[in-house]
């Protein structure tokens, strides 16, 4: 019997249908691998050359001028047809090269296509050229760990998400020793040029490497990667040169598909508020894009909250001849009130459910928390420097850390240091819940960035929301509106006259959604109200229909929290990102072949139709500014935040009341799944399309 079973399992496993449906490679993967992204037209010409465009102006940072002297004077460069160039120049263009490529930072959909574009173009001009992929991010460059990228390796990953081909890492190349190690690897491999595919910090690294490698003739090109969408380049005159990094569109679409599914579920089950935190370490671009994609009921944009002013409080203070400085900027308490307002308004319209989108980096825009983050950054960095030890290893438990802060506040630790942590800070910090304290103390990444993804922002905010909603419920302000038609039919079924009862118990008896009066806060007070209005006598019980209506108006606040980040970051790229990233790889090659270094490959007019796309090189050194990192001011590429004057933000502001849908029908939008084919206008970020108007 047993052997019969085994035999049948074997034949089941060998059945062609079983092998087909359980294969690692499915139809979608096969289709993706064979899809050919479009190439910008100029790349169909044989040779290109670079045309400097000094008319595009940037304010240069003095520190950058000092430390990056060989690349600071780079201009914007347009890649133009070079068929008229000399024979020698053509020969140099198509010369045999060894190129290195490295991923740096978090994965972003499209990374493999950058490598594919670079590889295809390099081989097109010279089949003897070689491409080396450094493994595990910058560590591979420092430790000389690499693979040679071959045709079959590239073919396996064409149009596929992730960075799995060569992996990635977040190591920062920030010392002379590390620069030397990178140079040694490149020299030993005979590398002519290095392509760094990374975010703001990694492109900063690329600029420093370009400067260091300049005298050795090794070129370094950066590629703008990050799902966060915060690498955007504008000139001093407001000309957009790089509207978005690759990966942003896919991540936003992947998050939006999930969020949209939640709007459908919420609108069906009508009992949950879904709180969706979406990635974006600092800037809220992803949240804004998801808001457009899904029309969720409330989307918080950190940049707007930072500029919040409480006009009522300012007026009040003014009447007393005072200035209320605390009225500027958003506090967590304010924020929870704002969210409650949305919930209460929707409930009044009969909808005790909905979807809220919160940006991962929200806390960086909340005044009181930002102050803590900055202070803690400095304290940890100072401790590491003074003691030459890691703060987190010295104080592994939260209680040890809190004890150290207490001593710091009392001036008993690290005497002589600027008293950055005072008794008030210590007092406020100790009032925070411990999971939040731990979140704020989480180890900074190698670039000194605060790791917002590790902190349960949604929990801290929603705990405050729940608390305040309880108060509002007790005050009779948080109630679910009853649809008039439902009320009427329930009353008529019980032979009660709807209008007489409506006037007695509802505060808005003429509305389509009837809201129980604030004074009716329990069944006891409801009974008294009916007696006072002579609808029942002292001895009569409450009519069942009335009890049932009252119960329907009593809200329960139930939430489900979700974090969308790593999932969307690992998604296979959209059609837009497939094309965009493939062309970035091609552009990197053309910049290298034309002798550029310290430039970032980019596409101008990305917000327009594909035939308007223009390949360019952007001088990285000119994008630098000084920023506090690890308690010190450091040169980094400036992050682009959501611009409150942009078309996208203005349109969002104008439409959000409709999407909140307190008194109108829900306006949810279904973006559908991530696609890699198709040519419709849908195939690019909505925020980009709006900003191009």
CB of 118 to ligand FBP, least distance (A): 19
In terms of Cα–Cα distance, which of 47, 51, 37 is closest to 590? 47
CB of 245 to ligand FBP, least distance (A): 8
**Residue 489 backbone dihedrals phi, psi, to 5 degrees:** -65, -35
- For ligand FBP, the closer CB: 303 or 360: 360
Q: Give the CA distances from residue 515 to residues 88, 509, 554, 657, in Å, rounded to whole numbers and listed in that order.
A: 82, 8, 10, 21
For the record, the structure tokens of 215 come out as 């005298």
- For ligand FBP, the closer CB: 38 or 167: 167
- Closest residue (Cβ) to ligand FBP? 105
Neighbours of 395 (CB within 10 A): 19
CB of 585 to ligand FBP, least distance (A): 17
- For ligand FBP, the closer CB: 74 or 226: 226
Q: Which residues pair with 131 in a beta bridge?
A: 99
- For ligand FBP, the closer CB: 120 or 364: 364
CB of 251 to ligand FBP, least distance (A): 8
**Residue 152 backbone dihedrals phi, psi, to 5 degrees:** -70, -30
N-to-C CA span, the chain: 73
- For ligand FBP, the closer CB: 173 or 227: 227
To the query of whether residue 228 is one of the catalytic residues in this protein, the response is yes
- For ligand FBP, the closer CB: 360 or 425: 360
For the record, the structure tokens of 423 come out as 């008794």
CA–CA separation, 17 and 11 (whole Å): 11
- For ligand FBP, the closer CB: 228 or 666: 228
In terms of Cα–Cα distance, which of 407, 454, 460, 406 is closest to 433? 460
Q: Give the CA distances from residue 185 to residues 145, 293, 442, 667, in Å, rounded to whole numbers and listed in that order.
A: 9, 45, 33, 56
- For ligand FBP, the closer CB: 49 or 300: 300
CB of 324 to ligand FBP, least distance (A): 34
CB of 279 to ligand FBP, least distance (A): 4
CB of 291 to ligand FBP, least distance (A): 17
In terms of Cα–Cα distance, which of 156, 218, 172, 215 is closest to 192? 218
Q: Which residues pair with 635 in a beta bridge?
A: 626
- Pairing relationship of beta strands 273-278 and 240-242 according to DSSP bridges: unpaired
CA 650 to chain centre: 20
- For ligand FBP, the closer CB: 120 or 445: 445
**What is the CB-side half-sphere exposure of residue 406 using CA atoms within 13 A?**
7
Out of 228, 364, 425, 445, which one is annotated catalytic? 228
CA–CA separation, 150 and 384 (whole Å): 43
For the record, the structure tokens of 261 come out as 């599914």
Which residue reads 């092998």 in tokens? Answer: 19
- For ligand FBP, the closer CB: 158 or 172: 172
Q: DSSP of 148-182, one letter per residue? A: E--HHHHHHHTT--SSTTT--------SHHHHHHH
Which helix H or strand E contains 27, and what residues bound it?
helix 27-34
CA–CA separation, 413 and 422 (whole Å): 12
CA 685 to chain centre: 14
For the record, the structure tokens of 305 come out as 């909250």
Q: Give the CA distances from residue 220 to residues 118, 203, 228, 598, 629, in Å, rounded to whole numbers and listed in that order.
A: 14, 10, 23, 6, 24
Q: Which residues of this protein are in contact with ligand FBP, per CB under 6 A? A: 105-106, 108, 199, 226-228, 279-281, 360, 452-453, 569
For the record, the structure tokens of 183 come out as 């140079």
- Pairing relationship of beta strands 146-148 and 298-299 according to DSSP bridges: unpaired
CB of 601 to ligand FBP, least distance (A): 16
For the record, the structure tokens of 606 come out as 């990305």
Cβ atoms of 221 and 231 within 8 Å: the answer is no
CB of 361 to ligand FBP, least distance (A): 7
CB of 278 to ligand FBP, least distance (A): 9
Q: Which residues of 366-389 are buried (b: 16+ CB within 10 A; e: fewer)?
A: bbebeebbebbbbbbbbbbeeeee
CA–CA separation, 431 and 1 (whole Å): 68
CB of 101 to ligand FBP, least distance (A): 16
- For ligand FBP, the closer CB: 82 or 359: 359
Q: What is the DSSP letter of 95?
A: -
132: left (phi over 0), alpha (psi -120 to 50) or beta: beta
- For ligand FBP, the closer CB: 282 or 409: 282
CB of 321 to ligand FBP, least distance (A): 45
Cite the active site residues. Answer: 228
């Amino acid at each position: 019997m047993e052997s019969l079973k085994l035999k049948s399992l074997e034949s089941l496993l060998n059945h062609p249908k079983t092998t087909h449906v359980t294969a690692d490679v499915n139809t979608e993967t096969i289709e993706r691998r064979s899809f050919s992204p479009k190439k910008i037209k100029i790349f169909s010409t044989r040779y290109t050359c670079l045309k400097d465009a000094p008319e595009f102006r940037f304010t240069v940072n003095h520190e950058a001028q000092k430390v990056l002297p060989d690349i600071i004077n780079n201009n914007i460069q347009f890649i133009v047809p070079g068929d008229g160039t000399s024979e020698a120049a053509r020969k140099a263009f198509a010369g045999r090269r060894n190129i290195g490529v490295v991923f740096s930072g978090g994965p972003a959909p499209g990374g493999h296509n950058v490598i594919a574009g670079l590889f295809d173009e390099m081989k097109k001009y010279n089949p003897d050229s070689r491409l080396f992929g450094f493994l595990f991010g910058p560590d591979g460059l420092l430790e000389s760990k690499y693979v040679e990228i071959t045709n079959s390796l590239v073919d396996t990953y064409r149009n596929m998400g992730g960075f799995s081909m060569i992996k990635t890492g977040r190591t920062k190349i920030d010392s002379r020793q590390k620069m030397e190690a990178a140079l040694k690897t490149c020299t030993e491999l005979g590398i002519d040029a290095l392509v760094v595919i990374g975010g703001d910090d990694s492109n900063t690294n690329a600029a420093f490497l370009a400067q260091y490698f300049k005298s050795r003739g090794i070129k370094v090109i950066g590629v703008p990667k990050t799902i966060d969408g915060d690498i955007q380049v504008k000139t001093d005159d407001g000309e957009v040169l790089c509207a978005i990094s690759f990966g942003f569109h896919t991540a936003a679409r992947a998050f939006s598909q999930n969020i949209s599914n939640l709007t459908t579920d919420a609108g069906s089950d009508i009992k949950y508020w879904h709180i969706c935190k979406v990635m974006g370490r600092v800037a809220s671009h992803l949240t804004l894009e998801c808001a457009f994609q899904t029309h969720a009921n409330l989307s918080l944009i950190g940049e707007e909250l930072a500029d919040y002013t409480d006009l009522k409080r300012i007026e009040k203070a003014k009447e007393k001849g005072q200035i209320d400085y605390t009225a500027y900027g958003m506090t967590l308490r304010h924020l929870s009130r704002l969210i409650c307002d949305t919930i209460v308004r929707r409930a009044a319209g009969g909808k005790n459910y909905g979807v809220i989108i919160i940006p991962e980096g929200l806390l960086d825009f909340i005044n009181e928390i930002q102050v803590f983050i900055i202070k803690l950054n400095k304290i940890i960095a100072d401790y590491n420097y003074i003691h030459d030890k890691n703060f987190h290893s010295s104080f592994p438990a939260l209680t040890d850390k809190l004890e150290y802060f207490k001593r710091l506040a009392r001036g008993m630790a690290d005497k002589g240091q600027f008293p950055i942590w005072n008794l008030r800070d210590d007092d406020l910090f100790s009032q925070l819940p411990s999971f939040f304290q731990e979140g704020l103390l989480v180890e900074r990444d190698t670039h000194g960035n605060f790791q917002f993804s590790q902190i349960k922002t949604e929990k801290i905010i929603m705990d405050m929301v729940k608390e305040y909603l309880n108060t509002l419920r007790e005050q009779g302000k948080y109630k679910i509106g009853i649809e008039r038609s439902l009320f009427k039919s329930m009353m008529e079924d019980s032979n009660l006259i709807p209008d007489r009862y409506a006037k007695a118990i509802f505060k808005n008896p003429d509305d389509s959604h009837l809201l129980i009066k604030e004074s009716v806060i329990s069944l006891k007070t409801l009974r008294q109200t009916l007696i006072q209005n002579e609808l029942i006598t002292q001895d009569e019980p409450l009519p069942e229909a009335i009890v049932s209506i009252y119960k329907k108006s009593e809200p329960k606040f139930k939430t489900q929290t979700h974090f969308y980040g790593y999932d969307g970051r690992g998604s296979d790229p959209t059609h837009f990102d497939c094309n965009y990233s493939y062309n970035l790889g091609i552009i990197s090659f053309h910049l290298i072949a034309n002798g550029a270094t310290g430039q970032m490959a980019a596409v101008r007019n990305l917000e327009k139709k594909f035939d308007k796309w223009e390949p360019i090189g952007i001088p990285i050194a000119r994008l630098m500014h000084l920023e506090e990192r690890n308690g010190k001011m450091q040169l980094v590429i400036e992050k682009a935040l959501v611009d409150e004057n942009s078309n996208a933000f203005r349109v969002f502001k104008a439409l959000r009341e409709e999407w909140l849908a307190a008194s109108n029908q829900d306006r949810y939008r279904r973006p559908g799944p991530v696609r890699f084919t198709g040519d419709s206008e849908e195939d690019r970020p909505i925020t980009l399309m709006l900003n191009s108007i």
